[in-house]
């Protein structure tokens, strides 16, 4: 923009170009660039304020625990704490495994295994819910009802598995939802047997 | 503030000096002394004053409680017990604050019911109504987060269940839940942020209350007849008429409040919240505070899937929808007549709505099984039917009673025993 313009132009008064259209002024240019810088600035400043709400690295780092299960005889369970949530570890009796195997997959409300150690589309058979071939007696699950997060009670409910007292969800001996408002089977976390008596979760 | 010219006359030199620099005394005089209110306001119009008093009670008691409370999971529960046992008058301050929340909600429900009965939400008071619903939403958020702070069993599991609502949303649900909690489960980051927000929100409520009163003073108050102010004879000055009526209403309200504080301070609470939070054990029967129970009943009423929406998401949508629908009330009511006094059918459906809301509240406190579920479903149906069917249709088909020409005529008619007055 030339220095020889009239004061009216410097004040940003619209003035017609040769073809009748308004020529952009220095103020138009400043308005656009300042506005864009402002929008980017606001977004850049807003992000730390939003991001601080998310779980921080120390929370995320509580990624794995090791649990000694040598004391669990068939029919016994223990509850460990992982990521602030209870983990149910149960050494199931042959009768419980039999009961779970007797259920037709078509009768299940949630036919997916929900097992983090298997492909996402694995079927909710008893084998795929348990610790796998040779360790079918072990079941490891996040003890947080898939409805609204209450802790189900063990060896209770209509199917002898778990029962959530909050809103009445019944799970069977393989932790599969059978009755009530919960939409999914109890989740099986990533875990592995470090030795015959120690389970690593996460 | 109602568009009329100010009647404030500064008398002393200091008043004149202030008035020409920051005319705050003038604004207060015009808003709360000379401000004209309808001459026929009854005691149903005093809940606004009670609510202002309760907001003040909650802020004052809350600020001093915060001086003794520690928002950290290992000490929070004990710090509340210390307030109850050791802090001078701590028991009184905490009981005032805990029961104050309940009485805040009692007053707001009566205030909302007054608005529904006399059609206070109808044009030109839509923004006034919407601001009220915003205040109600902020109150619910504040009350919920406050209940988490003592870090008892109900605090912990209430927070788990309520933040669990967000996990119902597909794809983003789990992310939102972790964002709210600051972790995988309710824990120290959750408690800390809830405390910060619980301290902040009441001041935001106070801000919206100022807008609410501003909007009220632009349109002027409604009154039991629903007729707008037409002449000066329809009104009286805010002070002393409304001021004194409000003062009497507030006094009676505070007597009942005091009765609860001193004789039944834990009646509205839950004994499980005197057990420290345990993340591995859920109480046998989780119930929210009484003021959320109707919505809790509606959440649990949805036990069936609707198309792609499973029962969990359906329940959450119904529960949020029950509050969101209030925003649209001014446009759902098609009636040209404002007050239920002249709408015989609306009056009937209104009282059914009140009875239904109380029934839903009771059902919310029952276990979710058998007959309770069926009754909750019927109650939910009527709740939404009232807003979505009865309100729009009734306005078109109902024949209202004869409406007086003015507030003054209505008052004189009443005084002369119902025969038309000669004005």
Give A-chain residues touching B166 at CB under 8 angstroms: none
Between the ranges A151-160, B76-85, B174-183, B404-413, where is the mean pLDDT highest? Answer: B76-85
Query: Encoding tokens for residue B77?
Result: 């529960």
| pLDDT of B385 above 60 | yes
Query: Encoding tokens for residue B400?
Result: 């209202």
> What does the alpha-carbon distance between residue A120 and residue A139 come to, in Å, rounded to a whole number?
18
What pLDDT is attached to residue A16?
Answer: 57
Query: Encoding tokens for residue A36?
Result: 């864009």
Residue to mutate among B164, B186, B302, with most A CBs inside 10 A, is B164
Closest C-alpha among B97, B86, B77 to residue B149: B77
- Specify the pairing of strand A169-172 against strand A65-68: unpaired
- Whether B368 sits inside 8 A of A167 (CB atoms) is yes
Residues B272 and B336 in one domain: no
Domain interval for residue B162: 38-281
Complex ipTM over 0.90: no
What pLDDT is attached to residue B390?
Answer: 97
Residues B247 and B325 in one domain: no
What pLDDT is attached to residue B336?
Answer: 93
- Mean pLDDT, rounded, of chain B: 93
> What does the alpha-carbon distance between residue A178 and residue B196 come to, in Å, rounded to a whole number?
41
Q: How far is A13 from chain B (nearest CA, A)?
A: 35
Residues B256 and B313 in one domain: no
Using pLDDT thresholds of 50, 70 and 90, give the confidence band for residue A167.
confident
Per-residue model confidence as pLDDT tens digits over B234-248: 999 999 999 999 999
Residues B296 and B222 in one domain: no
Higher per-residue confidence, B421 vs B68: B68
Residue B142, domain CATH: 1.20.810.10
Mean predicted confidence (pLDDT) in B377-396: 97
Mean predicted confidence (pLDDT) in A71-99: 91
Among A179-183, B44-48, B63-67, B323-327, the minimum mean pLDDT is found in A179-183
| pLDDT of B1 above 70 | no
- Mean pLDDT, rounded, of chain A: 86
CA distances (Å), B151 to each of A190, B81, B94, in order?
Answer: 30, 11, 15
Query: Encoding tokens for residue B188?
Result: 């120290």
Residues B275 and B351 in one domain: no
Q: End-to-end distance of chain B based on CA atoms, in angstroms?
A: 29
What pLDDT is attached to residue A5?
Answer: 47
Using pLDDT thresholds of 50, 70 and 90, give the confidence band for residue B167.
confident
3-state secondary structure of B276: strand
- Whether A53 sits inside 8 A of B280 (CB atoms) is no
Has B29 been labeled as part of a binding site? Answer: no
Mean predicted confidence (pLDDT) in B394-411: 93
Q: Decide if B169 contacts A42 (C-beta within 8 A).
A: no
Residue B33 placed within a domain: no
Has B89 been labeled as part of a binding site? Answer: no
Residue B384 placed within a domain: yes
Mean predicted confidence (pLDDT) in B216-233: 94
Among A98-107, B187-196, B221-230, B352-361, the minimum mean pLDDT is found in A98-107
| pLDDT of B179 above 70 | yes
- Indicate the number of domains in chain B: 2
Among B252-256, B282-286, B406-410, the minimum mean pLDDT is found in B282-286
Residues B105 and B192 in one domain: yes
Per-residue model confidence as pLDDT tens digits over B115-138: 999 999 999 999 999 999 999 999
| pLDDT of B4 above 90 | no
Residue B21 placed within a domain: no
Q: Decide if B361 contacts B422 (C-beta within 8 A).
A: no
CA distances (Å), B186 to each of A6, A55, A127, B275, B351, in order?
Answer: 66, 11, 32, 17, 40
Entry pTM? 0.89
Class of domain A65-201: mainly beta
What pLDDT is attached to residue B419?
Answer: 54
What pLDDT is attached to residue B303?
Answer: 81
Q: Decide if A154 contacts A173 (C-beta within 8 A).
A: no
What pLDDT is attached to residue B59?
Answer: 98
> What does the alpha-carbon distance between residue B157 and residue B153 come to, in Å, rounded to a whole number?
6
What pLDDT is attached to residue A7?
Answer: 47
What pLDDT is attached to residue A18?
Answer: 62
Residues B315 and B349 in one domain: yes
Among A140-149, B136-145, B409-418, the minimum mean pLDDT is found in B409-418
Residues B68 and B182 in one domain: yes
> What does the alpha-carbon distance between residue A118 and residue A125 come to, in Å, rounded to a whole number?
12
Residue B11 placed within a domain: no
CA distances (Å), B123 to each of A18, A164, B326, B337, B349, in order?
Answer: 51, 48, 15, 11, 21
Residue B388 DSSP code: I
What pLDDT is attached to residue B3?
Answer: 47
Give A-chain residues touching B285 at CB under 8 angstroms: 165
- CA count, 13 A, side-chain hemisphere, A29: 6
Mean predicted confidence (pLDDT) in B33-37: 94
Give A-chain residues touching B161 at CB under 8 angstroms: 148-150, 166
Mean predicted confidence (pLDDT) in B358-369: 91
CA distances (Å), B180 to each of B43, B52, B159, B174, in order?
Answer: 41, 30, 10, 10
Last residue of a domain, one of B243, B264, B281: B281
What pLDDT is attached to residue A20?
Answer: 66
Residue B306 placed within a domain: yes
3-state secondary structure of B374: helix
What pLDDT is attached to residue A14?
Answer: 55
Mean predicted confidence (pLDDT) in B282-300: 91
Per-residue model confidence as pLDDT tens digits over A140-161: 999 999 888 889 999 888 898 9
Distance of alpha carbon A38 from its chain centroid, rounded? 35
Last residue of a domain, one of B253, B281, B309: B281
Residue where the block lists tokens 């008052």: B411
Closest C-alpha among B189, B154, B177 to residue B282: B154
Report yes or no: B219 at the A interface, CB cutoff 8 Å: no
- Whether A86 sits inside 8 A of B186 (CB atoms) is no
Residue to mutate among A110, A146, A163, A181, with most B CBs inside 10 A, is A181
- Whether A81 sits inside 8 A of B180 (CB atoms) is no
- Specify the pairing of strand A198-201 against strand A65-68: antiparallel
| Residues of A annotated catalytic, as ranges | 167
Residues B295 and B270 in one domain: no
Query: Encoding tokens for residue B8?
Result: 């404030």
Residues B360 and B269 in one domain: no
Per-residue model confidence as pLDDT tens digits over B310-350: 888 999 999 999 999 999 999 999 999 999 999 999 999 99
Mean predicted confidence (pLDDT) in A80-109: 90
Q: How far is B49 from chain A (nearest CA, A)?
A: 37
Closest C-alpha among A151, A140, A152 to residue A114: A140
Q: What are phi and psi of A201, to 5 degrees?
A: -105, 130
Per-residue model confidence as pLDDT tens digits over A110-138: 889 999 999 988 899 999 999 988 888 99
Using pLDDT thresholds of 50, 70 and 90, give the confidence band for residue A15.
low
3-state secondary structure of A123: strand
Q: What are phi and psi of B395, to 5 degrees?
A: -60, -25
Residues B73 and B181 in one domain: yes
Q: What percent of chain B clears pLDDT 70, i.e. is strictly above it?
A: 97
Using pLDDT thresholds of 50, 70 and 90, give the confidence band for residue B187.
very high
B58 prior amide bond cis, ω within 30: no
| pLDDT of B257 above 60 | yes
Residue B27 placed within a domain: no
What pLDDT is attached to residue A182?
Answer: 86
| Residues in B 40-59 with any Cβ partner in A closer than 8 A | none
């Amino acid at each position: 923009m030339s220095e020889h313009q009239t004061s009216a132009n410097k004040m940003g008064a619209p003035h017609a170009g040769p073809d009748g259209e308004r020529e952009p002024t220095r103020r138009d240019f400043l308005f656009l660039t300042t506005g864009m810088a402002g929008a980017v600035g606001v977004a850049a400043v807003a992000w730390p304020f939003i991001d601080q709400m998310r779980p921080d690295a120390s929370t995320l780092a509580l990624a794995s625990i090791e649990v000694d299960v040598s004391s669990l005889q068939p029919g016994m369970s223990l509850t460990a704490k992982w990521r602030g949530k209870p983990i149910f570890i149960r050494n199931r009796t042959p009768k419980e495994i039999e009961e779970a195997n007797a259920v037709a997959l078509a009768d299940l409300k949630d036919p997916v295994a929900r097992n983090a150690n298997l492909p996402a589309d694995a079927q909710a058979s008893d084998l795929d819910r348990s610790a796998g071939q040779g360790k079918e007696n072990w079941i490891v699950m996040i003890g947080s009802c898939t409805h609204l997060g209450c802790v189900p009670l063990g060896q209770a409910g209509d199917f002898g598995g778990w029962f959530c007292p909050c809103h009445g969800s019944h799970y069977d001996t393989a932790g599969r939802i059978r009755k009530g408002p919960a939409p999914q089977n109890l989740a099986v976390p990533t875990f592995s047997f470090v030795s015959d008596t120690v389970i690593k979760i996460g | 503030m109602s568009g009329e010219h100010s009647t404030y006359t500064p008398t002393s030199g200091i008043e004149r000096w202030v008035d020409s620099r920051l005319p705050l005394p003038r604004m207060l005089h015009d808003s709360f002394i000379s401000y004209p209110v309808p001459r026929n306001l009854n005691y149903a119009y005093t809940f606004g004053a009670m609510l202002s008093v309760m907001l003040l009670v909650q802020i004052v008691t809350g600020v001093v409680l915060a001086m003794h409370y520690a928002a950290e999971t290992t000490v929070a529960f004990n710090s509340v017990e210390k307030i109850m046992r050791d802090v001078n008058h701590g028991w009184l301050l905490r009981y005032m604050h805990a029961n104050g929340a309940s009485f805040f909600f009692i007053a707001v429900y009566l205030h909302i019911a007054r608005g529904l009965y006399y059609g206070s939400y109808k044009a030109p008071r839509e923004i006034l109504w919407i601001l009220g619903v915003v205040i109600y939403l902020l109150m619910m958020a504040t009350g919920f987060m406050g209940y988490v702070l003592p870090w008892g069993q109900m605090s912990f599991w209430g927070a788990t269940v309520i933040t669990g609502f967000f996990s119902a949303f597909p794809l983003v649900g789990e992310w939102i839940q972790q964002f709210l909690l600051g972790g995988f489960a309710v824990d120290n980051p959750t408690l800390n942020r809830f405390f910060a927000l619980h301290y902040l929100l009441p001041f935001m409520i106070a801000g919206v209350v100022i807008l609410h009163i501003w909007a009220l003073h632009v349109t002027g108050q409604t009154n039991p007849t629903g007729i707008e102010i037409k002449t000066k004879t329809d009104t009286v000055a805010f002070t002393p008429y409304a001021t004194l009526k409000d003062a009497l209403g507030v006094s009676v309200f505070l007597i009942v409040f005091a009765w609860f504080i001193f004789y039944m301070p834990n009646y509205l609470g839950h004994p499980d919240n005197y057990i420290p939070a345990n993340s591995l054990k859920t109480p046998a029967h989780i119930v929210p505070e009484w003021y959320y129970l109707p919505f809790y009943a509606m959440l649990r009423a949805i036990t069936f899937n609707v198309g792609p929406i499973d029962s969990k998401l359906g329940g959450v949508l119904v529960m949020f929808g029950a509050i969101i629908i209030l925003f649209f009330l001014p446009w759902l009511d098609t009636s040209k007549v404002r007050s239920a006094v002249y709408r015989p059918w609306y009056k009937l459906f209104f009282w059914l709505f009140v009875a239904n809301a109380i029934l839903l509240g009771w059902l919310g406190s029952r276990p979710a099984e058998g007959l309770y579920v069926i009754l909750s479903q019927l109650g939910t149906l009527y709740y939404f039917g009232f807003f979505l069917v009865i309100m729009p249709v009734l306005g078109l088909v109902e024949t209202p009673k004869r409406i007086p020409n003015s507030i003054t005529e209505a008052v004189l008619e009443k005084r002369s025993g119902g025969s038309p007055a000669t004005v």
